[in-house]
Amino acid sequence: MIREMFKKFLLSAVVLLGTAVAAHAETFVFTAIPDEDETRLKTRFEKVATYLSDKLGVEVKYIPVKSYAAAVTAFRNDQVQLAWFGGLSGVRARKLVPGSQAIAQGEEDKAFETFFIAHNSTGLKPAASLPKEIAGKTFTFGSKGSTSGRLMPEYFIRQAFQDAPEKVFSRVGFSGDHSRTIALVQSGAFEVGAVNFKVWENEMKAGKIDPAKVSVIWKTPAYPDYNWSIRGDADKRFGAGFTEKVKTALLEMKDPDLLSSFPRASFIPASNSDYQPILDVGQKIGLLDE
């Protein structure tokens, strides 16, 4: 016990000095930010880690992160080798890590949508195209790096109005979170908001939304979203064919308890090219440098 503590102490002293400590090469680390319910992340995803560990035959660890940017940084700095990214963060991460690939997506992610929601006092009615009357209202995105809460809604706003959101609306905010977007529009703090359709549907089911106060006014066209991406050097470090093994393990994940953490019905194959539309949109609206 004391020896163990002493060892830990020595190790920490070394780290503290900033000396590079070789990663435990045998541990495969992943991270994931679900699009809703960020509580008890560790408890939920450690089950996924156990599942992957059984399938892959290596030690698998999960680390929780706070934001898409943090996930991308961890992926880039090799603190994680596999990550459950949003569409935009996946594109960013793969740009930064040469050879990395998108290997799977949720069944729902091949045709993801954003819902524009409005407080009912605005009098806005559901429409087939983005209602022009939202101009001049107050508007909130989700988090700044989100595909469904930021990138795509901004793209469609720019397309409809030929102008930046700050020019279209009287006030633009970033709620930081889909659940919070709903809460803010429901309270009338913002008149209009853009929210991940799955979060909306689940919160509606959970009875957290009062239809007398807030409702959907427009649904965006479909676009690809969340994805599993793996670093390009995974095969080199964990053995030939490792990437393929990870992909298979993900596609074969059928336990609803595991899938509900994401939450997705199942995982299906994906490739980098599936996300070309996201890359194009990102560059078009200036969120990505060319």
Q: Does 74 bind another protein (CB under 8 A)?
A: yes
Give the x/- contact pattern for another protein in 247-276, rule: CB under 8 A. ------------------------------
Considering only the stretches 60-68, 221-229, 255-263, 269-277, report the one whose residues sit in contact with another protein under the rule CB under 8 A: 60-68
Which of 212, 225, 223, 227 lies closest to 270 in space, CA to CA?
227
Shortest distance, CB of residue 176 to another protein, whole angstroms?
A: 6
For the beta carbon of residue 80, count every other beta carbon within 10 angstroms.
Answer: 24
Please pick, from the candidates 59, 78, 163, 201, the single residue that binds another protein as defined by CB under 8 A. 78
Q: Does 138 bind another protein (CB under 8 A)?
A: yes
Shortest distance, CB of residue 129 to another protein, whole angstroms?
A: 26
At residue 265, what are phi and psi to the nearest 5 degrees? -75, -40
| Local structure of 59: helix, strand or coil | strand
Give the residue with the Cβ less far from another protein, 64 or 277.
64
Which tokens go with 88?
Answer: 């935009």
Any idea of the CA torsion for 62, 65, 68, 73, to the nearest 10 degrees? -80
Please pick, from the candidates 47, 55, 58, 73, the single residue that binds another protein as defined by CB under 8 A. 73
Give the residue with the Cβ less far from another protein, 170 or 276.
170
Shortest distance, CB of residue 285 to another protein, whole angstroms?
A: 11
Q: Does 111 bind another protein (CB under 8 A)?
A: no
Which tokens go with 177?
Answer: 């979170």
β pairing state of 114-119 and 101-106: unpaired
Q: Which residue has the tokens 């992926």?
A: 75
Integer Cα distance of 141 and 153 in angstroms: 8
* Residue 8 CA: distances (Å) to CA of 4, 15, 24, 43, 164: 6, 11, 15, 25, 53
Q: Does 143 bind another protein (CB under 8 A)?
A: yes
Considering only the stretches 49-57, 58-66, 240-248, 264-272, report the one whose residues sit in contact with another protein under the rule CB under 8 A: 58-66
Cβ neighbours for 84, distance < 8 A, ≥ 6 positions apart: 30, 31, 32, 33, 34, 226, 227, 228, 262
Q: Does 145 bind another protein (CB under 8 A)?
A: yes
Q: Does 58 bind another protein (CB under 8 A)?
A: no
- In the complex, the residues that contact another protein under the rule CB under 8 A are 5, 8-9, 11-13, 15-16, 18-23, 36-43, 63-70, 72-74, 76-79, 92, 96, 119, 121, 138, 140, 143-145, 171, 173-177, 179-180, 183-184, 186-191, 208, 210, 213, 287-289
